[in-house]
Amino acid sequence: MKRRTFILNTSLSGIGLSAMSTFPFLSSNLKPFNMSFEPVTIATWNFPNASQKAGEMLAAGASALDAVEQGVMVEEANLKNTTVGKGGRPDRDGNVTLDACIMDPGGNAGAVAYLKNNTHAVAVARKVMEETPHVMLVGDGADRFAQQMGFKKEELLTDDSKADYLKWLEKKEYKPLINIENHDTIGMLCIDSKGDISGACTTSGLSYKMNGRVGDSPIIGSGLFLDNEVGGAVATGMGEAIMKNVSSFLVVELMRQGKPPQESCEIAIKRIIAGSPNHKDFQAAVIAVNKKGEVGSYCIQEGFSYMKYHGGKNVNFSSDFYL
Ligand code: SD4
């Protein structure tokens, strides 16, 4: 045993259950024996089935990585969700293209962008993380890789999303709406009973975007960032603003400096606002959790909410907002 590990294990023995919240800075390999943590799941918007799935998996002992993947997959498969997975609205040329990413407690990351033929973009992103030397695959390469990994080709445009698209074509007006009407991306963070954190973010992006457009959701640091020593953050809303400010990374770095998740989220959103004279016209939101399980959330416009599953309770909270 290394000397530092020995000292920590010795000095923490007997502290037991609350050791993680007392010593949130401990990395997995420095945690004392017999320590457990009450798992936490948080997720953007009001998707109770997704947070319930992840929360129940964590309660049954699943890893944060498995729980976060399965949790967001609930929304990818939800045909009523018009901004995630199958049933997501297409770009202006009628193509449904998905963006997703995932991170594990080791700081490993996988992402796909402009994925055209598979509902579960997050599962393909996980394969990129685990089966390739790369972090991100896009377009045809991502599609080919998914098929090589055994994912079956699917049609992502549904009868409903096709009907909406045909209606949109009548006017071809491109105006991102502010809240849920056009933003249902799911970003999720899970902390498991070992105190380890994982995160995922998955979307079909802005409805009727330009062909080829990729937003913040699959970009590590923008749509999602985490550090197992500190905590994690996920973002939703206008991807261009979030990317320009690398908002999820910023939130985690602020928490690293000791700021609580709520203050960290507020600073990150105010950074976007300060650089965007048109911020009244769009939504941007971040949620965050630190290693003590404390949660924060902030956004520009009223109307954003997030789910939290903790201690068997699955609750939707309205976010604080700027305007
Ligand atoms: C994007 N951030 O592609 C995503 C959109 C989003 O809820 O969050 N929708 O820009």
- pLDDT 10s per residue in the chain (323 long)? 333 333 333 333 332 333 444 444 444 444 444 468 999 999 999 999 999 999 999 999 999 999 999 999 999 999 999 899 999 999 999 999 999 999 999 999 999 999 999 999 999 999 999 999 999 999 999 999 999 999 999 999 999 999 999 999 998 887 765 554 456 799 999 999 999 999 999 999 999 999 999 999 999 999 999 999 999 999 999 999 999 999 999 999 999 999 999 999 999 999 999 999 999 999 999 999 999 999 999 999 999 999 999 999 999 999 999 99
CA distance 222 to 1: 38
- Under 8 Å CB-to-CB from 305, ≥6 apart: which residues? 45, 46, 316, 317, 318, 319
pTM over 0.85: yes
- In the chain, beta strands by DSSP E: 40-44, 98-103, 109-115, 136-138, 186-191, 197-203, 224-227, 231-237, 284-290, 295-299, 305-310, 313-318, 320-321
pLDDT of residue 12: 32
CA atoms within 13 A on the CB side of 189: 34
Catalytic residues: 185
Q: Is the distance from the beta carbon of residue 97 to the nearest atom of ligand 1 less than 6 Å?
A: no
Homologous superfamily, domain 34-321: (Glycosyl)asparaginase (3.60.20.30)
Q: Is 88 left (phi over 0), alpha (psi -120 to 50) or beta?
A: beta
CA distance 123 to 180: 25
pLDDT of residue 36: 82
C-alpha closest to that of 84 among 64, 70, 98, 68:
98
Q: Which atom of ligand 1 is nearest to the CA of 209?
A: 3
Q: Is the distance from the beta carbon of residue 89 to the nearest atom of ligand 1 less than 6 Å?
A: no
Total count of residues recorded for the chain:
323
pLDDT of residue 173: 80
Q: Is the distance from the beta carbon of residue 185 to the nearest atom of ligand 1 less than 6 Å?
A: yes
Q: Measuring from atom 9 of ligand 1, which residue has the nearest CA?
A: 183
pLDDT of residue 24: 44
Say if strands 231-237 and 224-227 run parallel, antiparallel, or are unpaired. Answer: antiparallel
Domain ranges of the chain: 34-321
pLDDT of residue 3: 33
Token output for 65: 């990585």
CA distance 226 to 253: 9
